[in-house]
Structure 1
Amino acid sequence: MLSQALDEEGGRAQSGMAGEKRREQPLARRSAWRLAGLLAWSILVPFLLFCLLFELLPVVITIQGSLTNGGTGGLSLAGYQRLLAQASNLRAFQNSVALSLVTALIGGLLGAVAAYGLASLRQSWLRNLLISFCSIAANFAGVPLAFAFVATLGVTGFVTVALRSWLHLDLYALGFSIYQFWGLVLVYVYFQLPLMILVTLPAFTGLRPEWREAAINLGASPAGYWWRVALPILFPSLVAGTMLLFANSFGAFATAYALAQGNINLVPILIDFLVNGNVTVDFGLGDALAVGMMGLLLAVVALYTTMLRRASRWQGR
């Protein structure tokens, strides 16, 4: 009897300890989740603060400056009135849109073809090497890129002098100039093309071989497969990539400033002249031009996001 009583007492003690452990486990789990939440917020708060100080706050200040009278400090639309009244401002938007559209179309077309060729490579080491080069080339812009093209295709550039000496072909006598519109197009395509490759490469690699096999088995020709199957799938990604190239070109400043400066009237260069000019300083007009740029880029980014969402349906995201 005594041993039975001891066994029962031991069983009750063990069950009590097990119950305490079960109660401690949810507490430990809640503590771990609370710690993870605090860690996540500690990482997120600096990022939100960065976005507030360097993205949202400048936008608010720019919009406020475009609606403020520089003399009285009151509410005014004078900046927008001057933007619409002066032909040079409208011409700057026209040139910027034309440059961005031409470079986006050229870079988009060539980049899509190159992305298809890159996706078709069987040698993974070569594909990775080319992707690495595209990553570097897409970010090689600004003053270094401008200097590289001046040293290559400038008046005394290596290629210009070589063509003049060896083939008696003077590019500048034929009307080409690295400092004019089409010269700037050539420079922009240098970093637009690899960016298009990086953006559209996942779409081309996402084309499944069984889709092509099914289309051919149903009697479709290779051209019919591309027109009726592949192109509708790739179209949102191609449009999204082209819109990204347009936005990338429209907001570029350093490359155009280093090459063209006063030769081509572009919106970013005009804003710089209005804000930092030695002769004319007009912050209200500069802010109005910047707001116009933001409005146009906002529409482009909205279209880019819409097309990217459609493309993600076929890419399994």
Structure 2
Amino acid sequence: MTVDTRTSRGASRPGWSWVGLAPFALYLALFLVLPTVLALLTGFFDADGAFTLDNLAALGDPVVLTTFANSTWVSLLTAAIGAIVGALVCFAMLGLPAGGVVRTTVDAASGVLAQFGGVMLAFVLIATIGTQGVVTRLLRDLLGIDIFAGGAWIYALPGLIPAYIVFQVPLMIITFMPALAALKPQWVEAHLTLGGTRATFWPTIGFPVLAPSFLASFLLLFANAFSSYATAAALASQGSQIVPLQIRTALTSETVLGRDNLAGALALGMIVVVGAVMAVYALIQRRASRWQA
């Protein structure tokens, strides 16, 4: 038996395919890694550049704890709503042709709306359900219903809930539809052959198999909402109800809670939360990908 030495030598040589990734790696280093490192390092230094842990003590301040609690419950609520509604939409599209008009339209719209946020999303919400929005005026004039009888909630923390749901549901459709579409028809046929029914397929096989993918998508939605800034900044121009807005206040104010460089400490706490969530997401996604292959 002979071995092609040319093939062996060629396989051992380092290729040049990595050169194509250099621009992307440079982009990540300049706009993701470097800002993250700088933000974290500032949390360990005072205004004179001396090392200190005093800034980290601010993470236990009641004001900071409140902002983290607000970010957590808003993220959990919008992630839960987005995951459930998005999963139902995916289930409804399961019986449609993959290349059909409906699925193609929903996929395209989801790809756009999942990235829809910031000032544009805030303007759409204000124009529709704002204090003088189209829907608000219709409800008030035609039905006598004033959705702002208790105050202008859309410009406060509750206003972030409908804003986040706008991009949470499309993101769920994008991430969960591949897992749902990967369910093999042979599994249903095998279940029926063994005496099961279509009604018992989902609680015994379908839901248990999809549970890791659903949980992974939910965690992704949570991290997406927890780290969202642009939409909240455009809607809630006053106050710092969530962590990203508290970081903005720390960067623009001379003194916050009596500490310098507080933004770095807040960023550290935020990165720890998001990093932990994404680590669990990666583990679950790895397990879910076993049966999708």
Same fold (TM over 0.5): yes
State the Cα RMSD in Å. Answer: 2.4
Amino acid of the structure 1 residue aligned with 2:76:
L
Farther-moved stretch of structure 1 (298-307 vs 276-285):
276-285
**In the alignment, which residue of structure 1 is the partner of 2:29?**
52
SS at match of 1:219: coil
Alignment deviations for residues 251-305 of structure 1 (CA, whole Å, 9 cap, x no partner): 1001011112335611000100110237759552110000000000010001111
Distance in 1 (CA, whole Å) between partners of 2:93 and 2:151 is 35
Farther-moved stretch of structure 1 (88-97 vs 45-54):
45-54
Alignment deviations for residues 111-157 of structure 1 (CA, whole Å, 9 cap, x no partner): 11111112221371221111101111111111100110000000000
Aligned ranges 1:23-62 → 2 under 5 Å: 26=6, 37-38=15-16, 40-62=17-39
Amino acid of the structure 2 residue aligned with 1:53:
L
The 8 Å contact of residues 192 and 198 in structure 2, kept in 1 or not, is answered as yes
**In the alignment, which residue of structure 1 is the partner of 2:174?**
198
Equivalent residue for 2:66, pick from 78, 91, 104: 91
Distance in 2 (CA, whole Å) between partners of 1:213 and 1:53 is 52
TM-score (norm: length of structure 2): 0.90
The 8 Å contact of residues 59 and 266 in structure 2, kept in 1 or not, is answered as yes
**In the alignment, which residue of structure 2 is the partner of 1:6?**
none
Distance in 2 (CA, whole Å) between partners of 1:143 and 1:285 is 26
**In the alignment, which residue of structure 2 is the partner of 1:114?**
89
SS at match of 2:155: coil
Instruction: Show structure 1 runs of 5+ residues with no match.
Output: 1-22
Equivalent residue for 1:305, pick from 282, 285, 293: 282
Q: In the TM superposition, what is the alpha-carbon distance from 1:93 to its structure 2 partner?
A: 0.3
Q: Percent identity?
A: 38
Distance in 2 (CA, whole Å) between partners of 1:282 and 1:133 is 45
Q: In the TM superposition, what is the alpha-carbon distance from 1:215 to its structure 2 partner?
A: 1.6
**In the alignment, which residue of structure 1 is the partner of 2:272?**
295
Q: 1:174 to 1:78 in 2, by over 3 A?
A: closer
Amino acid of the structure 2 residue aligned with 1:120:
G
RCO comparison, higher one (Cα < 8 Å, 6+): 2
Alignment deviations for residues 73-118 of structure 1 (CA, whole Å, 9 cap, x no partner): 222111011221x211110000001110000011011111111112
Instruction: Show structure 2 runs of 5+ residues with no match.
Output: none
Q: 1:221 to 1:180 in 2, by over 3 A?
A: farther
The 8 Å contact of residues 83 and 285 in structure 1, kept in 2 or not, is answered as no
Find the structure with the greater CA-based Rg. 1
Alignment deviations for residues 136-187 of structure 1 (CA, whole Å, 9 cap, x no partner): 1111111100110000000000000011111111111166732233331111
1:81 matched to 2:81? The reply is: no
Report how many residues are paired. 287
Equivalent residue for 1:143, pick from 119, 130, 138: 119
Farther-moved stretch of structure 1 (226-235 vs 48-57):
48-57
The 8 Å contact of residues 200 and 237 in structure 1, kept in 2 or not, is answered as yes
Equivalent residue for 1:64, pick from 8, 28, 41: 41
Q: Which runs of 4+ in 1 moved over 4 A?
A: 278-283
The 8 Å contact of residues 250 and 261 in structure 2, kept in 1 or not, is answered as no
